Structure 1
Amino acid sequence: MEITTPTEELHQQMDSWKEEVNEVRSEVKMMRERLEQIALSKASRDVMTQVEHFENRLLRQREVADEMHHDIKQCAKKMANTPVTVIHDDRPIDDFQTIQHRMEIFQKLYMSLKEDFNHFMPVEV
């Protein structure tokens, strides 16, 4: 049995995801600032290697957040029947379920990054 969700609820969900993605962007910015403080200190080579590692992960997380935000907006436009031509073979935005699945992966990966970062930071700050 297939259950349909009213378009209004789907748009509310997508708005919620956009807010969540924006929160991730903000948190990533704060994490990068904390890393900069360590980078400017006279930390050991091992710590600096970890700093570089997290800088790379945070940079990629920001890129993915930007992609998700864009694709959520495009999916919302498509659901509103606004004619939009968007082709992303690597980032499908065809339907709500696809965006929902991608958002779940985005959330899991970000939580893993945040957990790793928080384990690193208290020791080094």
Structure 2
Amino acid sequence: MTTQPEDLHQQINTWKSNVNDVRDEVKMMRDRLEQIALSDAPREVMTRVEHFENRFLRQREVADEIFHDIKQCAKKVTATPVLVIHDDRPVDDYDTMQNRMEIFQKLYEELKSDFNHFITREA
């Protein structure tokens, strides 16, 4: 299958947008967590706060790593201004990047669900 470079850039831009959305949502969750941390919550709640602080920090690190890798894919596409021939993969390592994005989204959704459950119990 032949894909225009514009289609490749569109896929890459979608990935970048997804990662940025996760970054923004994690920031909002961290802000909410900070409110709980500043309250007079019991020790067991503060333990959970620390747990989520660590998970949010790691989520941000992973987001930064994957965003960097996406940018590297964009450079690879830009370096190939002609049509790219492939079997429905926008970049050479598309399968790997697609798999990483799926795992990234899945783990983020789990984090978000866990945090929302925590918030509803503590609110």
CA distance in 1, matches of 2:2, 2:69: 22
Identity of aligned residues (%): 70
Which of residues 4, 19, 22 is equivalent to 1:21? 19
Q: CA deviation at 1:74?
A: 0.7
> Once the two structures are superposed, what CA deviation does each residue of 1:54-83 show, in whole Å capped at 9, x if it has no partner?
00000000010111111101111012227x
Instruction: State the structure with bigger RCO (CA 8 A, min sep 6), 1 or 2.
Output: 2
Structure 2 gap ranges (5+): 81-90
Counterpart of 1:89?
none
Which of residues 33, 36, 44 is equivalent to 1:46? 44
CA distance in 2, matches of 1:11, 1:27: 24
Q: CA deviation at 1:49?
A: 0.5
Counterpart of 1:99?
97
Give the aligned residue type for 1:20: N
TM-score by length of 1: 0.83
Structure 1 gap ranges (5+): 83-92
TM-score by length of 2: 0.85
Once superposed, which parts of structure 1, at least 4 consecutive aligned residues long, lie more than 2 Å away?
3-8
RMSD: 1.6
Give the aligned residue type for 1:119: H
Q: CA deviation at 1:116?
A: 0.4
Q: CA deviation at 1:8?
A: 2.2
Which of residues 95, 113, 120 is equivalent to 2:118? 120
CA distance in 1, matches of 2:4, 2:106: 27
Aligned length: 113
> Once the two structures are superposed, what CA deviation does each residue of 1:22-65 show, in whole Å capped at 9, x if it has no partner?
11101111111111101110001110010000000000000101
Q: CA deviation at 1:10?
A: 2.1
Which of residues 64, 78, 81 is equivalent to 1:80? 78
> Once the two structures are superposed, what CA deviation does each residue of 1:69-98 show, in whole Å capped at 9, x if it has no partner?
11101111012227xxxxxxxxxx962222
CA distance in 2, matches of 1:42, 1:4: 60
Counting only pairs closer than 5 Å after superposition, residues 66-77 of structure 1 correspond to structure 2 as 66-77=64-75
